[in-house]
Amino acid sequence: MTTMSQAMQSFIDRDILSCVSYCLIDDGEVVASDFLGFQSKENEIPLREDSIYRIYSNTKIVTSVALMKLFERGAFALDDRLAEYLPAFANMNVLRPDASGPQDVHPAKNPILMRHVLSHSAGFSYGFIEPESVIDQAYVAAGINPGPTNQSDLAAFCDTVAALPLAYEPGTFWRYSVATDVCARLVEVLSGQSFGEFLKREIFEPLAMHDTGFFVPASEQHRLISMYAPKNPLDPMASGMTLAEAPESSVYLAPPRFESGGGGLVSTLQDYVSFVQMITHEGSWRGATILKPETLALMRTNQLPEGVGVNFPFWAMPGTVFGLGFALRSALSEGESSLMLGEYHWGGMAGTHSFMSPEGRFAGLCFTQRMPGFWHPFSHVFKKMAYEWAEARL
């Protein structure tokens, strides 16, 4: 077992994770990978190379790529107003800084632009980032549900979001939000196809991502990984997990009405590796061209105002800004590899992480099924070791 596998196995041995799979990609080729732990602890089913993960917010990069395909075709410009395509977003209101409720608003000075929606700078929220805030309480009261149990479709969901106030003036701040679900609706409006059908035809089939979609077919449900939650969610390194979602009772067993662009996909490590190989090879992989190199370069360009960066109340991401679908490393912290500068990345709430370094087309993926598992120590250990490996090969 390699040193990296031993490090990842230690999280399983301490009952912090049930499983870990990882992959390192060098110039498009897989140079290291492993599949550790259990697909189901209770049934002692080992993790498989084709085990299926709930990738949650890794979906966001896929959605952003889909919308940027339509950008390439001239379907919209980045400085177009969102309301040109989704009229419900015209005449938005913004919460006052001292608002005591969602009624304390003033008319927005600026329109929401397409680039704002792709970069989480439109003024939307999520409903869980700051549960005590006026904006998130308004989202909860409106029944905003970006998950697979939502019984509305993308059109109705966007109408509900548009009826709510914005958290800030469009283009002035960054707040994690339902913006990528709005992007999914834009794909439908601009393409004339359902979101799922567009992804299948334009991305999944060309890249042979046969196990990626919004649900797990009956014939493949034996490959869905059990989801676990920590017994002590306040201490990420505390031992002990409980079963959070068993495969046989998963919400992913049937096609959802709501095809979430922000977090609805399931996938395998192998499928997502193909997607990352395409991105690191400037939009083309094994005969399939998904995006042009200049489009990906644009997606890796910061879209936020000077002094504004990615910010969460509970996860520190210093030196990180945001492009058109990617978080971007714009500055390094002490002790970090120089190869990390310019890195573009994102991950999923259940611990599916992917990051790509412009240097040498290097990329790393590390997947598990722990809720919550985003920005967990295991991912930092993996990334540190991955960059040490990358530096050693130069």
Structural domains of the chain, with CATH: 3-54+223-243+265-393 (3.40.710.10)
Give the whole-angstrom CA distance, residue 42 versus residue 21: 19
Question: pTM of the full predicted structure?
Answer: 0.96
Which one, of 265, 261, 277, lies nearest residue 206 by Cα? Answer: 277
Per-residue model confidence (pLDDT) at position 312: 87
In the predicted structure, residue 36 carries a pLDDT above the cut 60: yes
How crowded is residue 284: how many other Cβ atoms within 10 Å of its Cβ?
A: 15
- Reduced to 3 states (helix: H, G, I; strand: E, B; else coil), residue 113 is strand
Q: How much is the mean pLDDT over the chain?
A: 95
Q: Evaluate whether 175 touches 167 at the Cβ level (below 8 Å).
A: yes
Instruction: Give the whole-angstrom CA distance, residue 103 versus residue 134.
Output: 10
For the chain, how big is the Rg over CA atoms in Å?
Answer: 20
Q: How far apart are CA 112 and CA 172, in angstroms?
A: 11
Query: How far from each other are the two terminal CA atoms of the chain, in whole angstroms?
Result: 23
> Residue 288: beta bridge partners?
285
pLDDT tens sequence across 154-213 = 999 999 999 999 999 999 999 999 999 999 999 999 999 999 999 999 999 999 999 999
pLDDT, tens digit, 9 for 90 and up, residues 262-307: 999 999 999 999 999 999 999 999 899 999 999 999 999 999 999 9
Using the Cα atoms of residue 264, residue 22, residue 323 and residue 211 in order, give the sign of their dihedral: negative
* 28: alpha, beta or left? (left if phi > 0; alpha if psi -120 to 50): left
- Concatenating the DSSP letter of every residue in 250-304 gives -GGGS--SS--TTT--EE-HHHHHHHHHHHHTTTEETTEE-S-HHHHHHHTS--S
